[in-house]
Chain A
Amino acid sequence: EVQLVESGGDLVQPGGSLRLSCAASGFTFSSYSMNWVRQAPGKGLEWVSYISSSSDTISYADSVKGRFTISRDNAKNSLYLQMNSLRDEDTAVYYCARFGVYSSSSHWGQGTLVTVSS
């Protein structure tokens, strides 16, 4: 069974930094591209970032470009999101999600809450 477990969410002040992690199990992590998707409280889903299986292709939403960095460690079956210069509008539940351009499946974790507030 595919499992994705996010961690690292916390309360952080504006301008601060946070690193999210996603532990993957139940599948060959190194074979799949991964994403981060976020959902602000009471709002819709917003795609944040993508990383290919070998990390050779990375992309970001305009709203986080230059502030967030996605990475992965295939040896540790883990996905990461380094978030810098955090803003109030970055407050959201952050989901780790396995899907790619041509995917007949899409698996998501339960999310981790990031709150940016002074």
Chain B
Amino acid sequence: QSALTQPASVSGSPGQSITISCTGTSSDVGSYNLVSWYQQHPGKAPKFMIYEGNKRPSGVSDRFSGSKSGNTASLTISGLQAEDEADYYCCSYAGNTTWVFGGGTKLTVL
């Protein structure tokens, strides 16, 4: 149950696109199309942004998209906005009703 690997920080200017990677193993990310992504603003609960790798819950902007290749999942945010500045976490199902989160990535909008 080792944490998934995410970059500690990424940054971008308003209007630009950024991508956050999330690397796991063949036991979690690589085995299941069950990666989700969460956005967390300081002092707030995480917000569900992407599920099953590339699906958006209702109400989530289509500027957020997800993908997966092998043991690595990615979250792309296009048309960066100031309110996108937050921490982002990936989460993968790891079998036997267990989950593993990434270490988190701090997104700074310059």
Contact = CB atoms under 8 A, between A and B. Distances in A.
A74 B50 CA distance: 29
Given A44-B103, A46-B101, A104-B57, A111 B45 contact: yes
A109 interface: yes
B38 A45 contact: yes
Interface SS of A by simple majority: loop
Nearest to B96: A59
A99 B51 CA distance: 11
Given A45-B38, A45-B46, A104-B51, A59 B97 contact: yes
Nearest to B1: A62
Contacts of A104: 51-52, 55, 57
Name the residue among B1, B38, B96, B99 with the largest chain A CB count within 10 angstroms: B99
Interface string B67-110: 00000000000000000000001010100111111111000000
B46 A61 contact: no
A101 interface: yes
A110 interface: yes
Contacts of A57: 97
A28 interface: no
Nearest to B105: A44
In this complex, the interface size class of chain A, counting residues with CB under 8 Å from chain B, is: 20 to 34
B104 A44 contact: yes
Interface string A48-78: 0010100001010111000000000000000
A106 B99 CA distance: 14
B36 interface: yes
B101 A45 contact: yes
B89 A44 contact: yes
Contacts of A43: 104
Interface in B25-60: 34, 36, 38, 40, 45-46, 48, 51-52, 55, 57
Interface of A: 33, 35, 37, 43-47, 50, 52, 57, 59, 61-63, 95, 99, 101-111
